[in-house]
Amino acid sequence: MRDPAALRHPAMDDLLSFPAQVQRWLDVEAALARACAAAGLVEAAQAEAVARACHVDLIDLHALDEAAATAATPVIPLLRQLTAAVPREARAAVHFGATSQDILDTALVLFLRDGLRVLVEELLGAGDRCAELAQDHRGTVMAGRTLLQPAVPVTFGLKAARWLAALARQLERLYGLGFHVQLGGAAGTLAAYGERGLEVTMRLAEELDLDVPALPWHAERDLLQEIAATLALVAGTCATMGHELVLLAQAEVGEVTDAGAGGSSAMPHKRNPVDATFAVAAGRSAAAAAAAVLTGDLHEHERSAGAWQAEWATVPRLVESTVVAAARARRALEGCRVDGARMRANLEEAGDQLAAEPLAVALVADLGREEAHALVAELAARAAATGAGLLDLAGETPAVSAVLTGEQLERLRDPRAHLGVTDALIDRALDRWHRVAVG
């Protein structure tokens, strides 16, 4: 059973369909035949006859699916049908020198490359929206929160810039990944090709526009796991953005709203942040699939029994979940409506407790760090207990008034005075994004 529609992506539906999967296997078989012909191992006419037969429309998919259930790999029943579709004089060029894992691994790499192209498009869209939010809201002051509690003033533009910087890092990781062909033959020696094994590998990689590994990687899955780990990081970034948007959209907070919010089956008043919620859900699904790939690295001897086969389900799930997390995060960001007035109101409701850090910093030069922090902590506790303003209490405290004038204390009430180098940080994120996105 496929995942529900909420956790699927149209482009991934196409890539994950059984006909698309079989066509990728056939694409590898066609490329292998041509590579063998280019290396002089089979006739060019034989290779082209094989290539002409490598079309999914010539395959009985129902019969293949049934036969695959009782075969060691689905390539075995596929080859029976493919061989039957090839003229007798060309059949020697079918699957020449390869093993089933060569075909399945290389086809998996083709799927990964196509899936990651979809992912990059979604991330670029999400990043462009983050850049817009960072620029438009660089001066929209809000309460920064640590451990879910009001801490010090920040801006929504800085929050969006943080998301943007994370997306830029993820794109750089994705751009740096390699997609490696797999060809080793029965046990990784390429023995069936004689002295031309490396040449066939290179020509196969050229046919499919893939990278050439130093050696076959049947039982060494780090190349695949590097992609899996990167996808887990990408999904985590997308889920984090969704999670923050869910928190900001809470009725008690109300600092953002979701233009695409959905209702409830039981509560007509509800406006649920649907896209952000599913970004979180897809991110969790991706993390589980990535864990399965990353912990399945014990592949025995030249080829594994069980560990490799487990990847057939987990890797596609990982790619699809990551793409969905990115797509849902993008939609949540595009539908995000920022309520700057509510942000300011929440900031003011927190009172001047948020001025505790700048007050302590202002006192450090005269009182020393420990004494300044202890004094402000005592004043903050009294303010919380009595409901008085922190800065009002500070002004009545001789140790403070001896150091700071009333005018200086009043300036501490303005949250815009305590934003540090926020503008410079936002500019750095925007600059890096434009360099990465264009590259």
Catalytically active residues, by annotation:
264, 303
Residue 385 near residue 181, CB atoms below 8 Å: no
- Rounded Cα distance between 51 and 26, Å, is 8
Count CB atoms within 10 A of the CB of residue 422: 19
The β-bridge partners of 65 are none
Q: What is the DSSP letter of 389?
A: -
Count CB atoms within 10 A of the CB of residue 85: 17
**Per-residue b/e over 297-332, b at no fewer than 16 CB within 10 Å?**
eebeeebbeebbeebeebbbbbbbbbbbbbbbbbbb
Residue 259 near residue 268, CB atoms below 8 Å: no
CA-wise closest residue to 277 among 236, 241, 316: 241
3-state SS string for 1-52: CCCCHHHCCHHHHHHHCHHHHHHHHHHHHHHHHHHHHHCCCCCHHHHHHHHH
Joined tokens for residue 248: 């900001």
Provide the 3-class DSSP secondary structure of residue 314. helix
Residue-by-residue DSSP string for 204-241: HHHHHT-BPPSS--SS--HHHHHHHHHHHHHHHHHHHH
Residue 37 near residue 46, CB atoms below 8 Å: yes
Q: What is the DSSP letter of 147?
A: T
Residue 104 near residue 25, CB atoms below 8 Å: yes
CA-wise closest residue to 187 among 222, 218, 223: 218
- Show the beta-strand stretches assigned E in 147-296: 149-155, 256-258
